[in-house]
Amino acid sequence: MLHPSSVFNRFYADFSLTNLAFQTNLVQPLIQRQLSLWRPPQPGFYKLNTDGSWKDISKAGGGGVIRRDNGTWFMGFSLKYHFLSPLAAELQALRDGLLLAKQFQLTKVEVETDAKTIISLLKDVQNNPKHDLIALILDVANLLKLEWHVTISCQSRSKPGGPLFGPLCSLNGGSQG
């Protein structure tokens, strides 16, 4: 039996609800709530949502979901990692998602993550040359500089009883156009 909070279960539940909502006319409170929380990208863009998870070095992972501008599922991924920190898992999930988007030649991508620290590190790469994760930070920063239009925003995830998303920060990368 899968653990209810596993990365796979979260993405599968999200995928199922999204597909059900967009492919049928069923209107259920849970589906309406889920859809009102996720905002589609601007027309012509894809949206990449990434998340990392970490308990210890042998229990880390990450993944992401890429959706079209109409909200339909394009693809998703989940991977197991061996990292020493939650930030490393978050960064690797972002890197893997960007590489996947690039591999499929997506040229306009909006990225959402819940890791506010990533945005701060990417905005200030030059002032963190001795950071433990500098190689991974530079990999992500260099991916953002490629010939494509990528924006990154940070959305907080909900805690029981709290709002599910709250804009925290943003970063624009890549070429404009």
**What amino acid is encoded at 62 in this protein?**
G
Encode burial over 111-134: b for 16+ CB neighbours within 10 A, e otherwise: bbbbbeebbebbeebeeeeeeebe
CB 62 within 8 A of CB 81: yes
CB 62 within 8 A of CB 93: yes
Break the chain into its structural domains and give their ranges: 40-174
- Per-residue pLDDT band for 13 (boundaries 50, 70, 90) equals low
Q: What is the mean pLDDT of residues 29-37?
A: 52
Mean pLDDT of the chain: 79
pLDDT over 50 at 131, yes or no: yes
Q: What is the pLDDT of residue 31?
A: 46
Q: Which of 2-6, 57-61, 82-86, 166-170 is predicted with the least confidence, judged by mean pLDDT?
A: 166-170
- Per-residue pLDDT band for 166 (boundaries 50, 70, 90) equals very low
More reliable by pLDDT, 166 or 61: 61
Residues 69-96: tens digit of each pLDDT? 999 999 999 999 988 899 999 999 999 9
Q: What is the pLDDT of residue 57?
A: 81
pTM over 0.95: no
Residues 57-67: tens digit of each pLDDT? 888 999 999 99
Q: State how far the Cα of 71 lies from the Cα of 46, in Å rounded to an integer.
A: 9
Structural fold of domain 40-174: Nucleotidyltransferase; domain 5 (3.30.420)
In the chain, % of residues over pLDDT 70: 67
